[in-house]
Amino acid sequence: MAERAAQGGWCLPVFDDGPVIAIEGGRHPVVESALAKDGERFVANDCALAPMDRLWLVSGPNMGGKSTFLRQNALIIILAQAGSYVPAASARLGLVDRLFSRVGASDNLAQGQSTFMVEMVETAAILAQASARSFVILDEVGRGTSTYDGLALAWAIVEAIHENNRCRCLFATHYHELTRLTDSLDAMSLHHVRAKEYKGDLVLLHELANGPADRSYGIAVAKLAGIAPPVLARAKDVLDRLEKGRAETGGLAAGLGDLPLFSAALDAAEAKVDSLREKLTGLDIDALSPRDALDLLYDLKKLADQS
């Protein structure tokens, strides 16, 4: 650890009693080492999570550095709590009781689980176990299913992390519709990895900035990957048509602004269950005639159907 700290210019982390993460100039040690072999420089980024800003929604193009940013902060926490110096200019950390990650795509063919099933199993464990002292990184949750299902799940998971777990969390996503959640989630903020188009080419800056990404640059990334120009041109035509339709209808997340918060929806569901429980508890089943029992069954069904 001393050798790595000396060679890499790592810093001594300072621990804080509160649930904070304040990292300046954080770096990913493995990626930085790989880039150094090619004579390239790693772009360091800051991370500042606090009780009133504990959930960061990170957007931006593929290959822009979102996943690296999530992983480097998790690695810095692990190294610090293992007693090591950390790859950053400075680091002030509140102790983390557990660290959870849902990153990458992997099938579990031996157990018959798809990528999406593995993603949901891991996310379920996070929602069930993460506490206010935990640190969570979630990368592209919901992408393994249809657009509407994926957005709906990502939306509900962000709300649950914010309202129930209340942990420090970095959530990377391509669902720009999730940015609407900042209107209702006080401790959530928007960030993006920067990219610019220069003379028709995409330049990935790997810098984290405040606010949402203005676009996803998906077609530009496909061009970088070598997709044939006719395919790119056709994709651009399809994209223009889709964006025109989205503008006319209000977008994929139209109407979600009126949706109550996760906790409010949960309270409403519990209230409905309580009313059913109250009616059932007061019953004297043995005293009911067959006709009374049938009428009661209709009443209970009507009560259950009420929203």
> What's the pLDDT tens digit per position in 18-72?
999 999 999 999 999 999 999 999 999 999 999 999 999 999 988 889 999 999 9
Place of tokens 């009780």: 51
Which residues, including other chains, have CB under 8 Å from residue 71's CB and lie 6 or more apart? 28, 101, 103, 137
Cite the beta strand spans of 140-267 per DSSP E: 168-172, 188-198, 201-210
| H-state helical runs in 82-114 | none
Angle between helix 66-81 and helix 29-37 axes, rounded to 10 deg? 120
What is the model's pLDDT at position 265?
Answer: 60
Is it the case that residue 224 has pLDDT exceeding 70?
A: yes
Please give the torsion angle defined by the CA atoms of residues 118, 124, 129 and 133, in that order, rounded to the nearest 10 degrees: 90
CA separation for the pair 266, 156 (Å, rounded): 11
**Pair of tokens at residue 25:** 């100039």
Radius of gyration of the chain measured on its C-alpha atoms: 24
Burial of 110 (0-12, 13-18, 19+ CB in 10 A): exposed
The pTM for the full model equals: 0.81
Q: pLDDT tier at 98 (50, 70, 90 boundaries)?
A: very high
62-76, 98-112, 121-135: lowest mean pLDDT where?
98-112
Q: Which residue has the higher pLDDT, 256 or 63?
A: 63
What is the model's pLDDT at position 113?
Answer: 65
Q: pLDDT tier at 259 (50, 70, 90 boundaries)?
A: confident
Q: In Å, how far are 215, 235, 237, 246 from 241, measured between CA atoms?
A: 16, 10, 6, 9
- Residues 202-228: what's their mean pLDDT? 88
What is the model's pLDDT at position 243?
Answer: 81
What is the model's pLDDT at position 159?
Answer: 95
- Give the architecture (CATH level 2) of 2-216: 3-Layer(aba) Sandwich (3.40)
Delimiting residues of CATH 3.40.50.300 domain(s) in the chain: 2-216
